[in-house]
């Protein structure tokens, strides 16, 4: 499995792998996606879920679309975060919709980062059904990194701002 890592500020924020073909456990009908993140990514979505939906924090992946499918024995839950974080080149509002860049907005669909347990050392594995060309997979691998880095910079990486306000009597 070729693993792509997204590092920002010396921290490995995301690790992911894309595979087409057969998984070790069952045949796939599209892309097999392996993903895990730094715990701070999951903490962001967990916190947003608690703020926006204190009565029910998650939904099963099967509630969204038949095009994103669980591979393996454990069901996948998705944090309910409302509109969630948005950036100029990524979105989290497309769970179950086509993976990759949206044809009209050009935003990368990073909705899989809302999966519960994504920071677990064991990989979250899911399938996106459909026919995918070799070129699409290579383009996705190339194009997914910058939006993931931007998301980490925009919402997750620590930031420290000093502010000094002073006045001078005239």
pLDDT tens for residues 119-140? 988 888 899 988 888 899 889 9
pTM: 0.82
- Output the pLDDT for position 7: 63
In a domain, residue 165? The reply is: no
In a domain, residue 110? The reply is: yes
Structural domain range at position 64? 4-156
Q: In this structure, are residues 75 and 86 in contact, taking their beta carbons and an 8 Å threshold?
A: no
Query: Tens digit of pLDDT for each residue in 74-122?
Result: 899 999 987 678 889 999 988 999 888 988 999 999 999 999 999 988 8
In a domain, residue 17? The reply is: yes
Query: Tens digit of pLDDT for each residue in 21-60?
Result: 755 555 557 888 888 888 989 999 998 888 777 777 889 9
User: How many Å apart are CA 35 and CA 15, to the nearest integer?
Assistant: 6
Q: Dig out the tokens for 160 from the structure.
A: 């420290």
Degrees (nearest 5) of the Cα angle 156, 161, 166?
160
In a domain, residue 115? The reply is: yes
User: How many Å apart are CA 40 and CA 152, to the nearest integer?
Assistant: 10
Count how many domains the chain has: 1
In a domain, residue 143? The reply is: yes
- Per DSSP, the three-state class of 39 is helix
How many C-beta neighbours within 10 Å does residue 3 have?
10
In a domain, residue 152? The reply is: yes
């Amino acid at each position: 499995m070729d693993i792509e890592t997204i590092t920002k500020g010396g921290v490995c924020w995301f690790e992911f792998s894309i595979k087409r073909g057969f998984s070790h456990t069952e045949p796939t009908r599209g892309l097999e996606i392996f993903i895990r993140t730094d715990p701070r990514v999951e903490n962001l979505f967990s916190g947003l879920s608690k703020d926006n939906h204190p009565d029910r924090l998650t939904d099963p992946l099967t509630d969204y679309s038949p095009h994103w499918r669980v591979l393996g024995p454990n069901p996948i839950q998705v944090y309910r975060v409302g509109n969630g974080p948005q950036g100029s080149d990524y979105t989290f509002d497309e769970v179950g919709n086509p993976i990759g860049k949206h044809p009209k907005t050009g935003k990368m669909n990073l909705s899989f980062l809302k999966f519960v347990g994504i920071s677990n050392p064991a990989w979250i594995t899911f399938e996106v059904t459909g026919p995918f060309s070799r070129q699409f997979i290579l383009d996705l691998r190339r194009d997914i990194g910058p939006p993931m880095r931007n998301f980490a910079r925009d919402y997750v990486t620590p930031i420290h701002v000093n502010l000094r306000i002073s006045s001078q009597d005239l």
